[in-house]
C-alpha cells in the first residue's frame, strides 16, 4: 500500500539550477499539498490543489511553481534554486469530507549550495 | 505571532513517565485540533484529533482542549522509547480548510 510517494528523496543543487519534485498518491484523494519543513519553523504550506485542475498559493509560494498533472500527481518546481530553499519538502493528500487528516510522503531533502 | 505555537524542546523523560505536551493558538476561528507524530526522517502521521473542549482518550494518549484559554495538550502515559518523536499540533480554521501547524516538540524517552 504505497500511499503518497515522493521522488527524489535526496537532491543537491547549485544556486540557479532548476528541478522538479514529483508526488503521486494512490488513495483517490482530491486535495494535495506541498509543505516545507525547516528547524523551528514547523510545516509551512507552499502550494495546494483542492481538486484536479486547480492550484492555490499557500503561506510561502515565492520561488516555486506547481502543476496538478492529474488526480494522482502534483509536482513542485524550483525554477532557479536559492540557498534559502534548502529544506525538507513534504507532499500530502486529503480525501473529500475528512476531518482534515493529511497523509504525508516521506519527504524530499533538498540542499542548495 | 504564529497562529499555533509549541515549545520546540527537546523534552527528555525516563521510560514509564508521563509526557506532557502543550500548544497555544491565537485564532478563535480554529474549531478542532489534531496531533501529528513525526519520526526522524519520516513524514508526519495523524495521532489524534478532537472537536471540542474536554478530553479525548486513545490508549495511552489523551488530548485536551481548553478553548477559553486557547490551550491544547497531549499527554502520553507509560511512555516508551518508541514514543520518541516530534509531536506537532495542527488546526484547520474550518472543516475542510488547510491545516496550520505548530513548530513541533521533540520528545526523547530514555530506556
Written as nine digits, the cell of A14 is 547549485
Contact B49 A106 (CB under 8 A): no
What pLDDT does A97 receive? 64
- B93 pLDDT exceeds 80? no
**Shortest Cα distance, chain A CAs vs residue B44, angstroms:** 6
CB pairs A-B closer than 8 Å = 53
Q: What mean pLDDT value characterizes chain A? A: 93
Is some CB atom of chain B closer than 8 A to the CB atom of A1? no
Confidence of residue B52 (pLDDT cuts 50, 70, 90): low
Contact B34 A100 (CB under 8 A): yes
Is some CB atom of chain A closer than 8 A to the CB atom of B104? yes
Is some CB atom of chain B closer than 8 A to the CB atom of A26? no
Q: Residues A2-29: what's their mean pLDDT? A: 95
What pLDDT does B68 receive? 85
**Shortest Cα distance, chain A CAs vs residue B91, angstroms:** 8
- B96 pLDDT exceeds 70? no
What pLDDT does B4 receive? 87
**Shortest Cα distance, chain A CAs vs residue B80, angstroms:** 23
Amino acid at each position: 500500500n504505497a500511499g503518497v510517494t515522493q521522488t527524489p528523496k535526496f537532491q543537491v543543487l547549485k544556486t540557479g539550477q532548476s528541478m522538479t519534485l514529483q508526488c503521486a498518491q494512490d488513495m483517490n484523494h482530491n486535495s494535495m499539498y506541498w509543505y516545507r519543513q525547516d528547524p523551528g519553523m514547523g510545516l509551512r504550506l507552499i502550494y495546494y490543489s483542492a481538486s484536479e485542475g486547480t492550484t492555490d498559493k499557500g503561506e510561502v509560494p515565492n520561488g516555486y511553481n506547481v502543476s496538478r498533472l492529474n488526480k494522482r500527481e502534483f509536482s513542485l518546481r524550483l525554477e532557479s534554486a536559492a540557498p534559502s530553499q534548502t529544506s525538507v519538502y513534504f507532499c500530502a493528500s486529503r480525501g473529500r469530507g475528512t476531518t482534515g487528516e493529511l497523509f504525508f510522503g516521506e519527504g524530499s531533502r533538498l540542499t542548495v549550495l | 505571532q504564529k497562529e499555533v505555537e509549541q515549545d520546540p524542546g527537546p523534552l527528555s523523560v525516563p521510560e514509564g513517565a508521563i509526557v506532557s505536551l502543550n500548544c497555544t493558538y491565537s485564532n478563535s476561528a480554529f474549531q478542532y485540533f489534531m496531533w501529528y507524530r513525526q519520526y526522524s526522517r519520516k513524514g508526519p502521521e495523524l495521532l489524534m484529533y478532537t472537536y471540542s473542549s474536554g478530553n479525548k482518550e486513545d490508549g495511552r494518549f489523551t488530548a485536551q482542549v481548553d478553548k477559553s484559554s486557547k490551550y491544547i495538550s497531549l499527554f502520553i502515559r507509560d511512555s516508551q522509547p518508541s514514543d520518541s518523536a516530534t509531536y506537532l499540533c495542527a488546526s484547520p480554521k474550518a472543516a475542510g480548510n488547510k491545516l496550520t501547524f505548530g513548530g513541533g516538540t521533540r520528545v526523547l524517552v530514555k530506556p
